[in-house]
Structure 1
Amino acid sequence: MIDKTTLRLSRNAFGRLVFTGADGETYDGIIPARAFPISAPDEGIALIDRYGHELAWIDQLNDLPGEVRELIEADLAKREFMPEVTRIRDVSNYATPSTWYVDTDRGKTSFILKGEEYIRRLMPPALLITDSQGIHFLVRDRFALDHHSRKILDRFL
């Protein structure tokens, strides 16, 4: 864990995060990584160097000073693209691969589901659907979806 008052983070000329350790050594190309991106997105964030070594651990993102928190949040938002499915409008067929037409928190879209094994059950009642391009779609609560969406989803589970 790092002292949040001395955490020094900035951006270099290329837009990459730069971490300056307590010893004054700087590390370029830092990647923030969430320990629990779905269940606790603001808790447990590691700052990792380009070689995969953990340089710092942040217990609570909200405890950081505003400027540092904004740098980390911006970097995480760039790297983590996980639309949340709010409605399943239709599927091309009930055999895979199939094209799904969905509404998400980011708008309407479609994706190809290669197989039922690409629907992962998370902590109930959440699901994670990975499309053919490797994009993850989150269903936070499958029981909160409308009847039509649940009916489609049940055929694949």
Structure 2
Amino acid sequence: MNTPMNAPQSFTLQRNSFGRLVLTDAAGVAHDNVIPVRAFPITSPDRGMSLVSSDGHELAWIDTLDQLDAPTRALVEQELASREFMPEIQRIVSVSTFATPSDWTVQTTRGTTTFTLKGEEDIRRLAAPALLIADSHGIQFLIRDQKALDKHSRKILDRFL
């Protein structure tokens, strides 16, 4: 049985010919199809990360991404970017109505988009002052700091909270 490794330098990480991550542990055992998983993806995305095997067993624990050498860190960040999609709302442009369901037009870190909010219960409070909004297709939109939004956006948001 494999035990998790706490020291990031006790393994190497590379991509195989299929583009999948391969972790080679200190004993020289290669583990194919390794997946990085954040412990706290919203509140602390650069701290607490596990590298897990394809069957879900933890192979290595990373306290912070800063502990990794530059090539390994780049591999982990590339893999996470390809798997994670959570645009951050920077501005609420408009809503179709203040009743639900309503169509929201927002500016995000990934560009301007429109989504449908089915109900107020799809706006979840996280650790203050963050919010998570789920659209009708299950896509999650993050508002990292609702107080940092412009006045127009806060006014719209307040109508739904």
Equivalence for 2:55: 51
Q: 2:42 aligns with which of 35, 38, 51?
A: 38
1:101 lines up with 2:105 in the alignment: yes
Equivalence for 2:125: 121
Q: 1:143 aligns with which of 140, 147, 157?
A: 147
1:9 lines up with 2:13 in the alignment: yes
Offset, 1:30: 1.0
So what's the TM-score if we normalise by structure 2?
Answer: 0.92
Offset, 1:105: 1.9
Identical residues among aligned pairs (%) = 61
The one-letter amino acid paired with 1:113 is L
The one-letter amino acid paired with 2:124 is R
Cα RMSD (Å): 1.3
The one-letter amino acid paired with 2:107 is D
Deviations 1:47-97 (A, max 9, x none): 011111111100111111111110000001111111111110111112222
Distance 2:54 2:137 in 1: 24
So what's the TM-score if we normalise by structure 1?
Answer: 0.94
Equivalence for 1:131: 135
Distance 2:58 2:10 in 1: 17
1:92 lines up with 2:93 in the alignment: no
Q: Which ranges of 4 or more aligned residues in structure 1 deviate by more than 6 Å?
A: none
Equivalence for 2:75: 71
Q: For residue 9 of structure 2, give the secondary structure of its aligned residue in structure 1.
A: coil
Offset, 1:2: 2.8
Q: For residue 5 of structure 1, give the secondary structure of its aligned residue in structure 2.
A: helix
The one-letter amino acid paired with 2:11 is L
| Residues paired across the two proteins, number | 157
The one-letter amino acid paired with 1:119 is I
User: Is the 8 Å Cα contact of residues 8 and 61 (structure 2) preserved in structure 1?
Assistant: no
The one-letter amino acid paired with 1:53 is H
Flag structure 2 segments of 5+ consecutive residues without an equivalent. none
User: Is the 8 Å Cα contact of residues 8 and 60 (structure 2) preserved in structure 1?
Assistant: no
Deviations 1:18-72 (A, max 9, x none): 1112222221111101111122111110001111111110011111111111000
Equivalence for 1:19: 23
